[in-house]
Amino acid sequence: MNDPIIEVTNVCKSFGGVIANYDVSLTVQRGAITGLIGPNGSGKTTLFNSIVGYHPIDSGSIRLDGREISQLHVQEIARLGLLRTFQTTRIYGKMSCLQNMQISVPHRKARLVDMFSCERAEVLERAEQLLAFVGLYEKRFLRAGSLSFGQQKLLEFAMALINEPTVLLLDEPTAGINPTLINGLIDRLRRANAEFGITMLIIEHNMRVIMNMANKIYCMAHGEMLAAGAPSEIQNDQNVIDAYLGAH
Amino acid sequence: MSRAPVHPLTIGLLLLAGAAAPLLFPAYTNQVAVLWLMIVFASTWDILGGQMGYNSLGNIFFFGAGMYTSAVVQIGLYYDVGMYTSGARTTHIVFTTAQYFTGFALGTIAAGVVAALFAVVTSWIVFGLRGPYFAIGTLGVAVAAAELISSWEWLGAAAGISMPVFPGAPETQKLFFYFLLFGLAFAVLGFLRWLYSTNFGLAINAIRDDEEKAEAMGLYTRRYKRTAWTIAAFFLGIAGAIFGNMTGFIEPRDIAFPTTTFNIFMILMVLLGGKGTFWGPVVGAVVFQVIKEVTWTYFLGWQFVALGLLIVIIVVYFQQGIVGWLMEKYPERFGIRIAPKERQESSRAIGLAPHPEGAE
């Protein structure tokens, strides 16, 4: 079961004098759900941003499926099938849910003429299926910006799914959602992983959620990788407990 | 927003109004012709400003570029341009009817193509900018073009160029240019209607709503932005060629690159009618043109004060514009649906729902 799809090796990234990531290494196995935890400001989102090409890294290497991607731009990486969702949900607010889905289809195959292609029946059908999958089918004609925060998160997740990613990076998928919706979201994340075969790397603060979902968990603190292992190992790791609760 | 095809009746009425106007109000043919030009201005500005969320202050550049391109083609086909524009020329210049129309047709096509080429070239620079920097950057392009031509002797410099004279009676000339501008406006509206119904419309709307998200989703954002800019440029170039021939005399600052009049009018009309809507720019152009003609007629000398006041009022109190306001008031008539406020969710969130594994 050693089939890595993302390999981050010795990545360093600093902003001015602040070292956000120092010598960080991480591996995501194909088809697995991997967790990334750590206190606020420990460099998790910076690592995410580095992986998806949001900013250049200072040193180290990031590989997707064996291919070096640390020099590529956000859009190129997205078209390779590595997609991320945002901590603060981002959707196209003035467009309907269905239009949000229609414009999120995979662009890796897009040719120039596809800029002017019309509504395709199979895209609509797929969009409706996935909206039904996340439970937003009744709201498909509504303006996305008028949905509640939790529903927008579900929509963003559905938009990611229609893009047919091989790897999905989720930045705090359950933050700010009420417990009822969290249950549904976890269930759908699991199904997306099992049924669509999407590998996932998830940043999460909700310990019970991440401990239950992930096969392997990485823990960061102060920009460095503190520990890695199965959920049970992480839960009993003294360093992790210290980092989260304060070592005194 | 609504992507349903336009009702045939709307098209018929628009055609009828366009064709009947010069017959019903022959005294106002030129004013109505300018109205069609304004509709072209507003609708093409809205491609970037409204639908894509990129406020350009430099669209007028393509209008002037088209105007000068057509002038060069029309003259250059039969005479030496430098000699024609020289202040000391002594040669007698005549264009035969055939020469005039051949030159005009070729010049107009060239105007569209050259303006589009300029758009492709400038897009490499201006789309590195966003927000207010994009606005100022594009304005810089237009101002620089005006300055450049003002000192370019070969193109007549600040003294301008007298265009070839229309071979016909003044009345025929009026109607000829009226129907050209009307046809152009009609073509622009038809083209945009189609364009907004395709993937392109969705993509530029997505860029407007959240460009960073669109990038993160792998959308070819640059490709869309540059194409949108080029489309606007193409139509503005053609409009410039027609308008230059209509006025008969072109010069850089007030006619070809009027950054403080036509250039601002474009934006004002779109804001007045409603940004990012298909009919907003049209409605805005009609209302604006009426206000403009009335103030020009009755408050001469104060017209720019009145216009300034209008800008302030729109920007402060009426940002959504006429069509935007109607859409907010009667969203269902425009096919927009808004989520009702937190109905089922709040009742379920009390905590009675079952808690499957994995959550607090």
Candidate from B202, B216, B223 with C-beta closest to A78: B216
Listed in sequence order, the residues at least 6 apart from B158 whose beta carbon sits closer than 8 Å to its beta carbon are B150, B151, B251, B252, B253
Pairwise CA distance, residues A141 & A145, whole Å:
12
Q: Which residues of B touch A150 (CB under 8 A)?
A: 345
Cα B109 to chain centroid distance, Å, stands at 18
**Is-contact B30 B194, C-beta < 8 A?**
no
For B360, which of A119, A159, A179 is closest by C-beta distance?
A: A179
What pLDDT is recorded for position B3?
A: 52
Distance spanning both ends of chain B, measured CA to CA = 41
Q: Say what the ipTM of the complex is.
A: 0.88
* Contacts of B253 by beta carbon, 8 Å cutoff, 6+ apart: B146, B150, B158
Q: What is the pLDDT of residue A165?
A: 92
pLDDT value of residue B353: 38
pLDDT value for B9: 84
Domain boundaries of chain B, sorted by first residue: 8-335
**What per-residue confidence (pLDDT) applies to A185?**
85
- Average pLDDT (A41-65) is 92
Q: Write down the pLDDT at residue B359.
A: 36
**Closest residue to B223, CB basis, from A74, A115, A208:** A115
User: Does A86 score more than 70 pLDDT?
Assistant: yes
Quick one: what percent of chain A has pLDDT higher than 90?
54
Q: Tell me the C-alpha distance between A223 and B107, whole Å.
A: 63
Instruction: Give the SS3 label for residue B252.
Output: helix
User: Along chain B (360 residues), what's the average pLDDT of each consecutive run of 10 residues?
Assistant: 65 87 87 94 95 94 96 91 78 85 96 97 91 92 93 87 90 93 95 92 94 92 94 97 94 90 92 92 93 85 84 86 87 73 43 37
Residue B49 has what pLDDT?
93
C-alpha closest to that of B122 among B107, B147, B139, B146: B139
**Secondary structure (3-state) at A220:** strand
CB B193 within 8 A of CB B6: yes
For A95, the closest of B206, B356, B359 (CB atoms) is: B206
Q: What residues of A are in contact with residue B360 (Cβ under 8 Å)?
A: 179, 182, 206, 208
Residue B65, judged by CB atoms within 10 A of its CB (0-12, 13-18, 19+), counts as: buried
Q: What is the pLDDT of residue B327?
A: 86
Which of B1, B217, B327, B332 to mutate to probe the A interface, most A CBs <10 Å? Answer: B217
In whole angstroms, give the CA distance from residue B36 to residue B50: 19
Minimal CA–CA distance to A152: which of A166, A165, A135?
A135
Q: For domain B8-335, is the CATH number 1.10.3470?
A: yes
Long-range CB pairs of A9-12 (<8 Å, 24+ gap) are A9/A60, A9/A61, A9/A62, A9/A63, A10/A59, A10/A60, A10/A61, A11/A47, A11/A50, A11/A57, A11/A59, A11/A60, A11/A61, A11/A62, A11/A70, A12/A57, A12/A58, A12/A59, A12/A60
CB A107 within 8 A of CB B217: yes
Strands (E), chain B: 161-162, 249-250
Q: Which domains does chain A have, with CATH numbers?
A: 1-81+165-248 (3.40.50.300), 90-164 (no CATH)
**Sheet with A199-203, edge to edge strand ranges:** A82-84, A167-171, A199-203, A33-37, A216-221, A224-229
From the centroid of its chain, how far is CA B282?
Answer: 11
Q: What is the pLDDT of residue A246?
A: 67
pLDDT at A248: 54
Residue A147 Cα, gap to closest chain B Cα (Å): 6
Which A residues, 87 through 146, put their C-beta within 8 Å of a C-beta on chain B? 90-96, 99-100, 102-104, 106-108, 110, 112, 114-119, 139, 141-143, 146
pLDDT beyond 80 at A241: yes
pLDDT in tens, B238-287: 999 999 999 999 999 899 999 888 999 999 999 999 999 999 999 999 99
What is the distance between the alpha carbons of residues B319 and B321, in angstroms, rounded to a whole number? 5
Is residue A111 scored above 80 in pLDDT?
no
Across all residues in chain A, what is the average pLDDT?
Answer: 89
Model confidence band, residue A242 (pLDDT cutoffs 50, 70, 90): confident
Task: Report strand pairing: A199-203 vs A216-221.
Answer: unpaired
The label of the residue with tokens 């700010």 reads: A176
pLDDT band at A2 (very low <50, low <70, confident <90, very high): confident
Q: Is A102 helix (H, G, I), strand (E, B) or coil?
A: helix
CA nearest neighbour of A163 among A60, A228, A77: A77
Q: How far is A79 from chain B (nearest CA, A)?
A: 5
